[in-house]
Structure 1
Amino acid sequence: MTSVRGICDSRFDRVGQALQRNIDDGAEVGASVVVDIDGHRSVDLWGGFRDVEHNSPWEMHTITNLWSCTKMVTALAALLLVDRGELALDAPVAKYWPEFADNGKSDVEVRHLLSHTSGVSGLEQPATLEDFYDARGTAARLAGQRPWWTPGTASGYHVLTYGHLIGELVARISGVSLTRFVDQEIARPLDADFQIGAAAADWPRIAPVIAPVVAPMPDADIDPGVAAPDSPAARTFAVGATPEDANTGAWRRAELGAVNGHGNARALANLLSVIARGGESDGARLLRRPTIDRVLEPQADGVDLVLGIPLRWGIGFGLPCPQTLPWIPDGRVCFWGGWGGSMVVMDLDRRMTISYVMNKMSAGIIGSPRSAEYVTAVYDALES
């Protein structure tokens, strides 16, 4: 047994109590939770263990694979270029990446990539996970593909391709890789312990991800058409990653801007509170308000063609969808999470960011009972 450490304002005691209880009863192995309200850390807690054997405690500077929480940071990289006037959300992708116009994609816009509506949610077969480790090679293959549905008409979650598509745009505009851009332009300026992939020197402090007990399935009834053999879902999931893959050196050395960011709850709060705080962080303005407002513009609202559940997408982030995640409040809120339950919620009206990261994965694809418990405890505290 280990005690939760860190800071927690008294009004958020239920958050700390929930984290301690979940660690004590084994629902969590190791985890961290942060609540940032306009730059004040009301909650910054961590505890448990880095390993399933309970030999190594989860420390302040423990990091882990963040799965799709990585997508939010990759989206933030694109938004920085938008804010600087170097990338236009409504421009064709081919304006910056001419090869992408091939096979009927000349009208695909940048916002379609960011909102999972481009029709390019996976690699055509034959393909393997190892192919994705070649970031530029995979991007070239995606540029040559035909969309799997009419771009802009529906979302189809870009499980692995999101980082390659946005990363190629970032590389072509900035002249540096997505990994380097995020490090130089976002993580270092915001003092965030975050990296795409993980440097070998940091491997000793990584908490390996722990596979869920049961296979992940969407938490809703799936339209049979979604899972048909020739559907975008089947074609997207023809290449997948496992928790065991995420604990390998090959994974950590790769640039997978959709799924292999490494960090903790504090790192994600440092990065993404920029959205909740109107583009500012510690006196520095990274994004202007019009750029932030565009994040909240609905781009898709309906059953996602890959995940098979109702989703609402803004530009780069999910928007509240009571049918799927009733514990995410309505309003000027955006969010997303990672496979197994990690979650970041940005509440622009309250200038608040909630982040949660863990190593023991739950079965859910989006959120988990634990992430719901922590987020609900935060909002209950605010209401009381």
Structure 2
Amino acid sequence: MKRPAFISGVGLATLLVLVANVIQHQLRTPYTPWRCTLPLVHCPSPLIQGYVHPDYQRVRDIFEANLASGDDNGAGVAVFVQNELVVDLQGGWQKLNPRIPFTEDTLQLVYSSTKMLANIITAQFVQKGLLDYDAPIAWYWPEFAQGHKENVTLSDLVQHSAGVGYLDTPLKEADFRDPDSFSQLLARQPHNFGGAKTRSYHAMTGGWYLNEILRRVDPQGRTIGQIAEAELLQNYGVEWHLSANDDLEPRLAQIYRPPVVVQLKPLLVSIFSGQESYMVDLLRKKSVAYRTLVDSTPNQVPVFDLVKSDVRKLEGPSYNGYTNAFSIAKLAAMMANRGRAVVQGEPDLLDEKTYAIASAPMPLAYDILIRRPMATLKGGFGFNYEYAVDGVIFTGWTGAGGSVFYWNEEYRIGFGYLTNALKGSAPDARSLSLLHEIVYQAKKQKSPVLP
């Protein structure tokens, strides 16, 4: 009988339909479990909690829609406008199995958004007269001068032009056990470009070098992480950990990788269009991108696996920060207020002079890792002209997969967004949709504030 051939044809058609369904699901609702899209299957709706000012209710609606559509899984957003907290929301799931809600107690890994925290604390040391952006790092750390690094300045380091974006030897967790030995390892590293000033993103290493500088000038010999936990929480109610030991584990949001289709799309676009892309460079083990983003990660742990690895216990001021949206927005609000406190009775974050120095625009420079020009300010803060929102330009930085640490002086907006549903580069459609509504309301609320 020929029935098996007929059945195989039906089976093939069914398989093709299922594959098409899966691909469509991954592109449209990537973070909704596939079974939750099937008929007669009930899955719990994402929970939303927190505060929103009546004028900003539309922000909550957008935030909730991102979660309900499966474009987000667990997330937080907080916003200050004109020194007032107008949004502080959390929603979705800290973990899917078992289901744990994403709440104000959840701590989210925000990757490179942590660089802004490190740069703010560095600016505070400039304010105290303990550091100078234009001074060679070797003034504070003589051993650093090895390998054509004698002329590298603090400003070079925070602007990703110090020539130490990657380490020649792949890092191991054991390298961190002895702080003095790790310090020597960093000092011995030759300049990546033979001493020639070159912009090349310091994804992992920048914070370790900042730690070595700060602990040499801090009267108590502290690292950036120790300073953040001791001073920011006490002074501002800001919680930001630069490592995560076992006691924090119950509060850590689980990271959810982008579906394979979502991960491959930008890579395939780059390959077939011939565009320069660090994602293509990552396929070559000798490339600057691979040596920076893979070899220079402790134990070469993939970025999406940091939370479930012991590597999370190692302090990483450039990439290993665990926080909440409120803490990001609170710091961003003070930066939007030119360093001044936004809550009466709290100390200023920076004085006017230091804020002006750290916020001085620097010449646009092409980054050989990111493969595009990067606009930065003297203190290492990004100037995001290419992501202007309805004509409003934000200063700050973003983190792998989606987190955003942005501020704008003109309308005094401090914005923090984080998510455990990682995509590609940030800001992405989720955070930009929120920012468009925030900017719209901020423009209605008050005319621009002149300095």
- CA distances 1:195-245 after superposition (whole Å, capped 9, x unpaired): 111243222121112122244868983169x94765533431342442453
Find the counterpart in structure 1 of residue 366 from structure 2: 303
Matched, 1:201 2:247: yes
Q: Are 2:277 and 2:370, in contact at CA under 8 Å, matched by a contact in 1?
A: no
Find the counterpart in structure 1 of residue 29 from structure 2: none
- Where 1:108 maps in the other structure, the secondary structure is coil
- CA distances 1:86-116 after superposition (whole Å, capped 9, x unpaired): 1111101011111111111111000011111
Find the counterpart in structure 2 of residue 233 from structure 1: 289
Question: Structure 2 vs 1, CA of residues 341 and 55 (structure 1 numbering), >3 Å: closer, same or farther?
Answer: same
Deviates more, 1:346-355 or 1:128-137: 128-137
Find the counterpart in structure 2 of residue 94 from structure 1: 138
Give the whole-Å Cα distance in 2 for the aligned partners of 1:17 and 1:350. 22
Give the whole-Å Cα distance in 1 for the aligned partners of 2:167 and 2:253. 30
Q: Are 1:77 and 1:186, in contact at CA under 8 Å, matched by a contact in 2?
A: no
- Where 2:72 maps in the other structure, the secondary structure is coil
Question: Structure 2 vs 1, CA of residues 234 and 249 (structure 1 numbering), >3 Å: closer, same or farther?
Answer: closer
Give the whole-Å Cα distance in 2 for the aligned partners of 1:293 and 1:357. 28
- CA distances 1:233-273 after superposition (whole Å, capped 9, x unpaired): 34313424424532235223211111111111011123332
Give the whole-Å Cα distance in 2 for the aligned partners of 1:95 and 1:55. 52
Find the counterpart in structure 1 of residue 328 from structure 2: 268
Find the counterpart in structure 2 of residue 40 from structure 1: 84
**Deviation for aligned residue 1:328:** 8.3
Q: How does 1:229-378 map to 2 (within 5 A)?
A: 230-239=286-295, 240=297, 241-248=301-308, 250-281=310-341, 282=343, 283=345, 284-314=347-377, 315-322=379-386, 325-327=387-389, 329-330=391-392, 333-364=394-425, 366-378=426-438
Give the whole-Å Cα distance in 1 for the aligned partners of 2:337 and 2:331. 11
Q: Are 2:81 and 2:442, in contact at CA under 8 Å, matched by a contact in 1?
A: no
**Deviation for aligned residue 1:302:** 3.6
Partner amino acid for 2:356? D
Query: What 5-or-longer segments of structure 1 have no aligned partner?
Result: none
Find the counterpart in structure 1 of residue 186 from structure 2: 142
Question: Structure 2 vs 1, CA of residues 131 and 6 (structure 1 numbering), >3 Å: closer, same or farther?
Answer: same
Question: Structure 2 vs 1, CA of residues 137 and 353 (structure 1 numbering), >3 Å: closer, same or farther?
Answer: farther
Identity among equivalent pairs (%) = 26
Aligned residue among 208, 212, 229 for 2:258: 212
Query: What 5-or-longer segments of structure 2 have no aligned partner?
Result: 1-44, 445-451
Deviates more, 1:56-65 or 1:133-142: 133-142
Find the counterpart in structure 1 of residue 276 from structure 2: 222
Question: Structure 2 vs 1, CA of residues 130 and 187 (structure 1 numbering), >3 Å: closer, same or farther?
Answer: farther
Give the whole-Å Cα distance in 2 for the aligned partners of 1:135 and 1:383. 49
Question: Structure 2 vs 1, CA of residues 138 and 273 (structure 1 numbering), >3 Å: closer, same or farther?
Answer: farther
Q: TM-score, normalised by structure 1?
A: 0.90
Q: Are 2:204 and 2:293, in contact at CA under 8 Å, matched by a contact in 1?
A: no
Find the counterpart in structure 1 of residue 229 from structure 2: 183
Q: TM-score, normalised by structure 2?
A: 0.77
Whichever structure has more helix as a proportion of its residues is 2
**Deviation for aligned residue 1:298:** 2.9
Give the whole-Å Cα distance in 1 for the aligned partners of 2:51 and 2:227. 32
The structure with the larger Rg is 2
**Deviation for aligned residue 1:276:** 1.4
- Where 1:105 maps in the other structure, the secondary structure is coil
Question: Structure 2 vs 1, CA of residues 126 and 349 (structure 1 numbering), >3 Å: closer, same or farther?
Answer: same
Give the whole-Å Cα distance in 1 for the aligned partners of 2:197 and 2:385. 18
Question: Structure 2 vs 1, CA of residues 300 and 212 (structure 1 numbering), >3 Å: closer, same or farther?
Answer: farther
Partner amino acid for 2:334? V
Q: Are 1:196 and 1:255, in contact at CA under 8 Å, matched by a contact in 2?
A: yes
Give the whole-Å Cα distance in 1 for the aligned partners of 2:184 and 2:96. 39
Matched, 1:11 2:55: yes
Partner amino acid for 1:274? M
Corresponding pairs, count = 380
- Where 1:259 maps in the other structure, the secondary structure is coil
Give the whole-Å Cα distance in 1 for the aligned partners of 2:240 and 2:190. 34
Give the whole-Å Cα distance in 2 for the aligned partners of 1:212 and 1:132. 30
Question: Structure 2 vs 1, CA of residues 130 and 377 (structure 1 numbering), >3 Å: closer, same or farther?
Answer: farther
**Deviation for aligned residue 1:39:** 2.9
- Where 1:360 maps in the other structure, the secondary structure is coil
Give the whole-Å Cα distance in 1 for the aligned partners of 2:415 and 2:63. 14
Give the whole-Å Cα distance in 1 for the aligned partners of 2:115 and 2:177. 16
RMSD: 2.6
- CA distances 1:261-319 after superposition (whole Å, capped 9, x unpaired): 11110111233322112222224123111211223223352431112233211122111
- Where 1:94 maps in the other structure, the secondary structure is helix
Deviates more, 1:61-70 or 1:184-193: 184-193
Q: Are 1:89 and 1:110, in contact at CA under 8 Å, matched by a contact in 2?
A: yes
**Deviation for aligned residue 1:151:** 6.2
Give the whole-Å Cα distance in 2 for the aligned partners of 1:50 and 1:302. 38
Deviates more, 1:83-92 or 1:349-358: 349-358
- CA distances 1:151-209 after superposition (whole Å, capped 9, x unpaired): 68442111110110111111111112222122123233211122111243222121112
Find the counterpart in structure 1 of residue 39 from structure 2: none
- CA distances 1:97-150 after superposition (whole Å, capped 9, x unpaired): 111111111110000111111111011134346646776544432322222237
Q: Are 1:340 and 1:361, in contact at CA under 8 Å, matched by a contact in 2?
A: yes
Partner amino acid for 1:303? Y
- Where 1:179 maps in the other structure, the secondary structure is helix
**Deviation for aligned residue 1:320:** 2.0
Question: Structure 2 vs 1, CA of residues 78 and 16 (structure 1 numbering), >3 Å: closer, same or farther?
Answer: same
